[in-house]
C-alpha cells in the first residue's frame, strides 16, 4: 500500500508545469543592471510626471541603505540585483481598439493561459488588465466601467491621466522605504493596475488582472493601487503565471488598497508562478508586499490567496484597521511541493475601536518543501473591543517536508479578545481507507480530502476563480500521500 502511494505521489508531484511555455514576442528591453540612470530611463520611457520620478529616486536611495530581510523561515540564495533586467515591454506597443488588433502571439499566449480576453469571456463579465512582463497590454471593458465613473487602467496610464489621484494615494499604505523589496519595487516598478471606485458605486463586475513573466532574467515589479471611496465596493482578481526557465526570476510587487467610509474591497489572488523543476532548479522568487488600510469607519478589506507556485514565496497581505468598526479578513491556501519554500501569512493591525479580524490559513506541504505561516495580530492601546480569531492549519503529505506556524499576538488593550488556534497533521489514513472502501481510488480520495480541507478558503473566491484554483491544487498535489 505504502509503495503504491509513493508511486502515486511521485507521479503526481512530478507532473510538468502546465503553463511553462515561452512566447516569442518582440520585446523592448533595457540593459541589465540597476542605477539611478536606469530608473530615470524607465520613468522617461513611460512619460511619467515628475513626482513619480522623485518617488522612485527616494525609494531607490532608501533601498541602497537596506538589507534583504532574513527573519523568514526561508533559505534565500544570494540575488544579484545587477544581473537583472528592470524593464521589458512588448515592442509593438498596443494602442488597440478591438481584440483583432492584438498581436496574434500574445493572444495565443493568453489563450494558453486561459485568460478570458475574448468575447465569450466577456459574457462572463470579467474586465481584464493583462500585464506581460512589465507593461499593461490590454484593458477590456473600459467603457462600461467608465460610465459608472470607475477607473480601471494600467498604472502608467493612470500616472499620466489621473496624476492627482495617483499622487494622493501612491505610497500612502506602503511607503517607499517600507521594506527592502517594497523599496526596490517603488524604485523600478514598470506597470500594474490602477482601480478607483467613486463614492457610492458598486462595481458591477469582477476586475481582473493577469501577470506573466516572459523575458529571461526579467524582474517583474508591478504596482497595484486600489482606492474605494465612501460606500463603494469592488472585487479584484489577480492571477499569475510564468514560463519555465532554469534561472530564477524575481517578482517583487506592491499592492496598496485604501478603503474610505463603509467601502469594501475584496482582493483575490491565484498565484501560479513557475515553481522550479522537481530538482528545485529555476522558479520565481516571489517577494510581495500587499497591504490595505481601512481608513474610513465601517470599511472592510478581505484578502484571499491561493498560492501554489513560485520557488520562494515571501508574502504577508495585511490590513491596517484604522477606522472604527472596520473589518479585515485573510483567507489563504498555500501549497508547496518539491523544493518550494513559502513563508506567508498576514498582519492585522487594530487601531480603531470595535475592529474585527479573521484569519484562516491552510498550509499544505508535499515533497521536500517548507511551508510556514507567519502572522501578526496587534491590538494597539486605543483599539477598544478588538476581536480576532485565527485558525492556521497545516497538512503534511510525505515525511520529507516541513510545516511551520509562527504567529505573533501583541495585545495592548484589555478589552481585546484574541484567539489563535493551529493544528498540524497528515491526511488521515482512515479517511483514505473509507474512500477506498467506497470505491474511490487513493488519488481521488486525496483530492477530495484536500478540497474539503481548503474549502473554507476557496469558497471566498469568485466562481470562475474557485474552479481554476481547485484545478491548480489538483495538478499540484493530488495523490501525494506518503
Partner 1 sequence: MQLSEHDIALQRLFAENRELIEKDAAPEVNAAREGAMEAFSKLGIPSSKVEAYKYTNLQAWFKAGYTQAYGLNGATSEALKQFECNVHELDSYTLFTVNGKFVAGSNVEALPDGVEAGSFAELSKKHPELLKRYYGSLAKVEEDGFVALNTLFATDGIFIYVPKGKVVEKPIQVVNVLTGEQDLMVNQRNLIVVEEQAQARVLFCDHTMSMSRFVVNTVTEGHVAESAMLDFYNLQNQHNGTVQVGAYHFDQETRSLLNANYFTLHTGVARNNIFSRLGGPHAENHISGLYVIDKNQHVDNFSFINHAVPDCESNELFKGVMDDASTGAFTGRIFVAPDAQRTNAYQSNNNLLLTENAKMNTRPQLEIYADDVKCSHGATVGQLDEHAMFYLRARGISKEEANILLMYAFAYEVIEKIQVPALKEQIRELVEKRFRGELDKCDSCVVCGQLGTGRVKSE
The residue ranges that bind partner 1 (CB under 8 A) are 71, 73, 381, 394, 396-426, 482
Please provide residue 132's backbone torsions phi and psi, each rounded to the nearest 5 degrees: -105, 130
CB of 303 to partner 1, least distance (A): 22
Are 435 and 242 contacting, i.e. CB atoms less than 8 angstroms apart? no
All 3 cell numbers of residue 212? 506573466
Helices and strands, number each (H, E), in the chain? 12, 23
Of the pair 288, 392, the CB lying nearest partner 1 is at 392
d(CA 121, CA 99): 12
Are 388 and 350 contacting, i.e. CB atoms less than 8 angstroms apart? yes
∠ CA 304-132-473, nearest 5°, is 40
What burial letters (b/e) apply to 149-183, b meaning 16+ CB within 10 Å? ebbbbbbbbbbbeebebbeebbbebbbbbbbbbbb
CB of 392 to partner 1, least distance (A): 9
Of the pair 414, 439, the CB lying nearest partner 1 is at 414
d(CA 157, CA 136): 9
Of the pair 413, 431, the CB lying nearest partner 1 is at 413
d(CA 83, CA 63): 17
Of the pair 415, 459, the CB lying nearest partner 1 is at 415
Of the pair 36, 429, the CB lying nearest partner 1 is at 429
DSSP category for residue 100 = G
CB of 419 to partner 1, least distance (A): 5
Of the pair 265, 396, the CB lying nearest partner 1 is at 396
CB of 412 to partner 1, least distance (A): 5
Please provide residue 8's backbone torsions phi and psi, each rounded to the nearest 5 degrees: -60, -45
CB of 386 to partner 1, least distance (A): 10
Of the pair 323, 398, the CB lying nearest partner 1 is at 398
Concatenating the DSSP letter of every residue in 57-70 gives: HHHHHHHHH-----
Of the pair 199, 400, the CB lying nearest partner 1 is at 400
Of the pair 43, 388, the CB lying nearest partner 1 is at 388
Angle between helices 463-477 and 442-458 (to 10 degrees): 140
CB of 68 to partner 1, least distance (A): 16
d(CA 292, CA 265): 9
CB of 171 to partner 1, least distance (A): 27
What DSSP element (H or E) covers 219? none
CB of 107 to partner 1, least distance (A): 44
CB of 354 to partner 1, least distance (A): 15
Q: Which of 133, 99, 144, 134 is nearest to 117 (CA)?
A: 99
d(CA 390, CA 361): 8
CB of 368 to partner 1, least distance (A): 10
Q: Which of 142, 135, 132 is nearest to 106 (CA)?
A: 132
Q: Is the dihedral of CA 378, 382, 383, 384 positive or negative?
A: positive
All 3 cell numbers of residue 11? 507521479
Of the pair 409, 475, the CB lying nearest partner 1 is at 409
Amino acid at each position: 500500500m505504502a509503495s503504491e502511494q509513493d508511486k502515486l505521489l511521485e507521479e503526481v508531484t512530478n507532473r510538468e508545469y502546465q503553463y511553462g511555455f515561452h512566447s516569442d514576442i518582440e520585446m523592448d528591453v533595457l540593459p541589465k543592471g540597476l542605477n539611478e540612470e536606469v530608473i530615470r530611463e524607465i520613468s522617461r520611457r513611460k512619460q511619467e510626471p515628475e513626482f513619480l520620478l522623485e518617488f522612485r529616486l527616494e525609494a531607490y536611495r532608501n533601498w541602497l541603505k537596506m538589507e534583504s530581510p532574513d527573519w523568514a523561515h526561508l533559505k534565500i540564495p544570494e540575488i544579484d540585483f545587477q544581473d537583472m533586467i528592470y524593464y521589458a515591454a512588448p515592442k509593438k506597443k498596443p494602442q488597440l481598439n478591438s481584440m483583432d488588433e492584438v498581436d496574434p502571439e500574445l493572444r495565443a499566449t493568453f489563450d494558453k493561459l486561459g485568460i478570458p480576453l475574448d468575447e465569450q469571456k466577456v459574457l462572463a463579465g470579467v474586465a481584464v488588465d493583462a500585464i506581460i512582463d512589465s507593461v499593461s497590454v490590454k484593458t477590456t471593458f473600459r467603457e462600461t466601467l467608465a460610465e459608472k465613473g470607475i477607473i480601471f487602467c494600467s498604472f502608467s496610464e493612470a500616472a499620466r491621466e489621473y496624476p492627482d489621484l495617483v499622487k494622493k494615494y501612491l505610497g500612502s499604505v506602503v511607503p517607499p522605504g517600507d521594506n527592502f523589496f517594497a523599496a526596490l519595487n517603488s524604485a523600478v516598478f514598470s506597470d500594474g493596475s490602477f482601480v478607483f471606485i467613486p463614492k457610492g458605486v458598486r462595481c458591477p463586475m469582477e476586475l481582473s488582472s493577469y501577470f506573466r513573466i516572459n523575458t529571461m532574467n526579467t524582474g517583474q515589479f508591478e504596482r497595484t493601487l486600489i482606492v474605494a471611496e465612501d460606500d463603494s465596493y469592488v472585487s479584484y482578481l489577480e492571477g499569475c503565471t510564468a514560463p519555465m526557465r532554469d534561472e530564477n526570476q524575481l517578482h517583487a510587487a506592491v499592492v496598496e488598497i485604501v478603503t474610505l467610509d463603509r467601502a469594501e474591497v475584496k482582493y483575490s489572488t491565484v498565484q501560479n508562478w513557475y515553481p522550479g523543476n522537481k530538482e528545485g532548479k529555476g522558479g520565481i522568487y516571489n517577494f510581495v508586499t500587499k497591504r490595505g488600510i481601512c481608513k474610513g469607519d465601517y470599511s472592510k478589506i478581505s484578502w484571499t490567496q491561493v498560492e501554489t507556485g513560485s520557488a520562494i514565496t515571501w508574502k504577508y497581505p495585511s490590513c491596517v484597521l484604522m477606522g472604527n468598526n472596520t473589518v479585515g479578513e485573510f483567507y489563504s491556501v498555500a501549497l508547496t511541493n518539491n523544493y518550494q519554500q513559502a513563508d506567508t501569512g498576514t498582519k492585522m493591525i487594530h487601531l480603531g475601536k470595535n475592529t474585527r479580524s479573521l484569519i484562516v490559513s491552510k498550509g499544505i506541504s508535499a515533497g521536500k518543501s517548507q511551508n510556514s505561516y507567519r502572522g501578526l495580530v496587534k491590538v494597539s492601546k486605543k483599539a477598544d473591543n478588538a476581536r480576532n480569531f485565527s485558525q492556521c492549519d497545516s497538512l503534511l503529505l510525505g515525511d520529507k517536508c516541513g510545516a511551520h506556524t509562527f504567529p505573533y499576538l501583541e495585545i495592548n488593550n484589555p478589552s481585546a479578545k484574541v484567539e489563535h488556534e493551529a493544528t498540524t497533521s497528515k491526511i488521515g489514513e482512515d479517511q483514505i481507507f473509507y474512500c477506498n472502501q467506497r470505491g474511490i481510488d487513493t488519488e481521488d480520495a486525496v483530492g477530495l480530502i484536500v478540497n474539503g480541507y481548503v474549502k473554507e478558503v476557496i469558497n471566498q473566491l469568485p466562481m470562475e476563480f474557485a474552479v481554476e484554483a481547485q484545478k491548480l491544487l489538483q495538478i499540484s498535489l493530488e495523490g501525494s500521500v506518503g
